[in-house]
Amino acid sequence: MLQVGLEHFLFVSAILFSLGIYGIVTRKNAVMVLMGVELVLNAANINFVAFSKFGNFGINGQVIALFVIVLAAAEAAIALAIVLNVYKTFVNINVDEINKLRD
């Protein structure tokens, strides 16, 4: 019988991370980019929890996962505020058109 082991978790988290990165890189819309970031963070969370279960780190992994969820919430709040301000300034929120950093 197929035992669900660490590799499966890591595999899922790797796919999730890759999708997140893909989202960050390819999406035009800043909101979609933020969603990609959430995917990346959650991929990290899966890793933490998986290592907590299969490694001998004790409860630490799960605690850090909780921290990351809180952090993600805070990040989302701030990032959305930034997106709102970006919208106010540039009238759209397409990240490929906001290239003021170049100047």
Residues contributing to the site for another protein (CB under 8 A): 21, 24-26, 33, 95-96, 98-103
Q: Give the shortest CB-72-to-another protein separation in angstroms.
A: 18
Q: Give the shortest CB-51-to-another protein separation in angstroms.
A: 20
Task: Return the number of the residue (36 or 61) whose C-beta is nearest another protein.
Answer: 36
| Alpha-carbon span 54 to 12, nearest angstrom | 15
Sign of CA dihedral 79, 83, 44, 1: positive
Q: Give the shortest CB-33-to-another protein separation in angstroms.
A: 8
Task: Return the number of the residue (88 or 102) whose C-beta is nearest another protein.
Answer: 102
Are the beta carbons of 10 and 77 closer than 8 angstroms?
A: no
Residues 6+ apart with CB under 8 A from 47: 9, 10, 13
